[in-house]
Amino acid sequence: MIEKPKTTQKLKRGVPLLPSLFTVGNLFCGHYSLIATLQGEYAQAAMAIGIGMVADILDGRLARMTDSESAFGGAFDSLADVLTFGIAPATLMFSWALSDLERIGWMVSFFFLACSAARLARFMVHTGNHDRRYFVGLPAPSAAAMLAAMAFYSPTRVTAPALSYGVVAMVVMLAILMVSKVRYRSFKNIDLRARHPYPRVAIFAIGFALVANAPQTVLLLMAAIYLASGPIEKLWYQLRRRQHSLSKVGTVDYHDDLEHATIDRSDKTP
């Protein structure tokens, strides 16, 4: 009987730790974002949330690729997400744009935090019970990324009341979308081990080039496009569904007319 090398056995025992290491990185990003926000470094706080989003994506991918998904890993990931994509962006928004609104400011930031926690809890409970191609409701990392992109685009503290109320509207809209039934594409069906990966490599290269050239503008635009994709796709689906139902009604009416016409002719037949 051939024994497996000890190095291979150690590697297999160590593989399940890799997703948890990225989760720890996600947790660290959320913690650092809070510290940067308290020091008034809004650009650094926003970047930490963005890096935490990348770490969150990688830990899930690694868990699925290494077949090391577990209840502990899911719970640990959700707790880290509450900090990085709930507490950190809510605190960032309050300090960056909402603190001058006093009670309205902290109530709106808390509303975002509560909705993000509810969104993450719903995701953890319903994992495996829905189409993996879609998220039900705006993902909390995407909502946090939109807020972080706004602060990263203009890291100077917002003092104009009109702009502050504009941020209030955005924060409330994101919070509602997180707990809504609007579906967003998850992109989990993208096969990174495809036989012809060259188009995907080219797309990633173009994306990296654009981000490197104008990171503030491109990241804000990407976050806004994904934010709008859910409602636009839902509206498009409803329009197509309505057109389909109207076409079915027209077909039924046409057949009914033919039937009545046949009956009328039969009545006139001697």
Domain count along the chain: 1
| 63: nearest Cα among 52, 51, 82, 76 | 76
Which tokens sit at 160?
A: 């104009």
Q: Is position 118 within any domain?
A: yes
Question: Which residues share a beta bridge with 139?
Answer: none
Q: Is position 65 within any domain?
A: yes
To the nearest 10 degrees (0 to 180), the angle between helices 103-125 and 161-178 is 20
pLDDT value of position 211: 85
Q: With b meaning 16 or more CB within 10 Å and e meaning fewer, what string describes 157-167?
A: ebeeeeebeeb
**Residue 69, number of CB atoms within 10 A of its CB:** 16
Q: With b meaning 16 or more CB within 10 Å and e meaning fewer, what string describes 71-80?
A: eebbebbbeb
CATH number reported for the structural domain that contains residue 129 in this entry: 1.20.120.1760
Question: Which residues share a beta bridge with 135?
Answer: 184
For residues 16 and 68, give the distance between their C-alpha atoms in angstroms, rounded to a whole number: 5
For residues 252 and 258, give the distance between their C-alpha atoms in angstroms, rounded to a whole number: 10
Q: Is position 227 within any domain?
A: no
Backbone angles phi, psi at 134, to 5 degrees: -130, 150
For residues 41 and 91, give the distance between their C-alpha atoms in angstroms, rounded to a whole number: 12
Q: What is the pTM of this model?
A: 0.81
Q: Is position 55 within any domain?
A: yes
Which tokens sit at 239?
A: 């329009």
pLDDT value of position 206: 87
Q: Is position 152 within any domain?
A: yes
Task: Look up the domain containing 117 and give its range.
Answer: 6-190
For residues 267 and 134, give the distance between their C-alpha atoms in angstroms, rounded to a whole number: 57
Task: Give the burial class of 122: count Cβ atoms within 10 A of its Cβ; 0-12 exposed, 13-18 middle, 19 or more buried.
Answer: middle
Q: Is position 257 within any domain?
A: no
Which tokens sit at 43?
A: 């650009």
133 Cβ neighbours under 8 A, 6+ residues apart:
185, 186, 188, 189
| 147: nearest Cα among 155, 230, 233, 26 | 155
pLDDT tens digit at each of 270 positions of the chain: 445 455 545 545 555 678 889 999 999 999 999 999 999 999 999 999 999 999 998 888 887 777 777 788 888 999 999 999 999 999 999 999 999 998 999 999 999 999 999 999 988 887 655 667 788 899 999 999 999 999 999 999 999 999 999 999 999 999 999 999 999 988 766 665 666 667 777 887 888 888 888 999 999 999 999 999 999 998 998 888 888 777 776 554 444 443 444 444 444 434
Q: Is position 197 within any domain?
A: no
Q: Is position 94 within any domain?
A: yes
